[in-house]
Amino acid sequence: MPTNQLSRAYFCCGCFWCVQAAFSNLRGVTSATSGYLGGASANPTYEQVCSGRTGHIEAVEVAYDPAVIPYGVLLDVFFTVHDPTTRDRQGADAGTQYRSAIFGTEAELAAAKARIAQLEKDGVFGAPIVTELRPPAPFYPAETYHQDYYAKNEEAPYCRAVINPKLKKVREGFRNWWN
């Protein structure tokens, strides 16, 4: 039963357009917002983040009801939509703003650390996971044109070539959670 007590989770795993599309289609997620995390400057712009000088990472803030979808499922989706073994790159998107990171509370980071240990023990990715586990930091929403990019541009070449295959993996792997 929904609690109406929303929690927020913060995931960085490549282009935020991909990540936002994957999380926003999950039952129990009320919103997924593209933005920036982890840098030193307040209210960075996309151009500033892409310069690599701000220290920010493209991120998605996931607002969810933990009574409907547990944090562990969100972690599993995170590890499904990207390759956590590549540093500062996801596919053709390269730069420090595309690194793999989870920002969270002590409990969330402990859960992420345990999940990483299990994935590495099981050899799921065949290489060490380089996902950074970081304490909470200010989240800055991205510009309006980045919000719901996939929903507004499904036929764009990037969406068809990059986002659609990721969504297919999530849709197939998380059928019970997909809206």
- Range 108-119 burial, b when 16+ CB lie within 10 A, else e: bbebbeebbeeb
pLDDT in tens, 53-97: 999 999 999 999 999 999 999 999 999 999 999 999 988 889 999
pLDDT in tens, 111-141: 999 999 999 999 999 999 999 999 999 999 9
Provide the annotated active-site residues. 15
The domain locations on the chain are 7-173
To the nearest 10°, report the CA torsion of 155, 29, 114, 39.
Answer: 70
Residue range 7-36: average pLDDT? Answer: 95
According to CATH, the topology of domain 7-173 is Peptide Methionine Sulfoxide Reductase; Chain A (3.30.1060)
Q: What's the pLDDT band for 3 if we cut at 50, 70, 90?
A: low
The answer on pLDDT for 1 being more than 60 is no
Q: What is this structure's pTM?
A: 0.94
